[in-house]
Homo-oligomer: A and B are copies of this chain.
Amino acid sequence: MDKLFVVKIGGNIIDDEAKLSSFLQSFALLEGKKILVHGGGKLATRIAEAMGIQQQMVDGRRITDAETLKIVTMVYAGFINKNIVVQLQLFNCNATGLSGADGNIIKAHKRSAAIDYGYVGDIDEVNAELLHALLQINDALVLAPITHDGNGQLLNTNADTIAQEVAKAMSKLYDLDLIYSFEKAGVLLDVNDDASVIPLINPVKYEQLKAQGKIFAGMLPKLDNAFAAVFSGVHKVIIGKAEELHELAQGKKGTTIINE
């Protein structure tokens, strides 16, 4: 099977022009085919404020009302997505930017929960066949965190989840590594010490670390997702700093999660 990297970058890199450019240069140099899933950043909030659109929050979570959906569609699928693509082109990486509505790549449904989060999508299906066909004619695909329900509705969707679902679906066709890049150097024993990275976690080690109370609570959902991915066919999941993408891809830095 061919090699495929699925890489997720978050808002803190997107908001920093110099860091983003250097990250994209490393991304362009990754060997083989690759998919980049990007999050949002602060621009959407800035534009909403400038336009006088109130951000509705419930329990600390943002509600995606109709006006907010308009703005995140513009900012995520328009501004951020095309800015990433145009830079990858500069770095000789022929990339195509897409939302989940394009080519029906990611079908989702509006979340039904006790709290109405608005136009937020939970993923039903990833069109692995079309992504595979697109990778035959592109070096890289860049996915914005916007999906659709097949009934004409766009939906705001968590970028971590998109990365995970795309990785799981594509792991049937590729030898796939999933990289979550964020602001920390990996899964840390001491949350304030980047040198305390745990290099390798397998299911046994994960149970030990949890039993010893050594995993920072905020990391638990990320790790649960990572194990869900490796249990579903993803070769390995690597968590670490965006600035160290090259080393992460080689397994020289960050935390590697495997099912062995």
Interface of A is mostly: helix
Bound together, the chains give a CA A13 to CA B52 distance in angstroms of 27
In residues 155-212 of chain A, which contact B (Cβ within 8 Å)?
none
Copies of this chain: 2
User: Contacts of A133 on B, CB cut-off 8 Å?
Assistant: 136-137
CB-nearest residue of chain B relative to A78?
A: B78
Whether B98 and A154, one on each chain, are in contact in the complex, defined by CB atoms closer than 8 angstroms, is no
**Which B residue sits closest to A105, measured CB to CB?**
B96
**Chain A interfacial residues counted at CB < 8 A:** 43
> Given the complex of chains A and B, what is the CA–CA distance between A130 and B94 in angstroms?
11
Report if A85 contacts B (CB, 8 A).
yes
For A146, the chain B residues whose CB sits under 8 A away are 82
B70 touches A82 (CB 8 A): no
Residues on A facing B (Cβ under 8 Å): 47, 50-52, 70, 73-79, 81-83, 85-87, 89-90, 94-99, 101-104, 130, 133-134, 136-138, 146, 148, 150-154
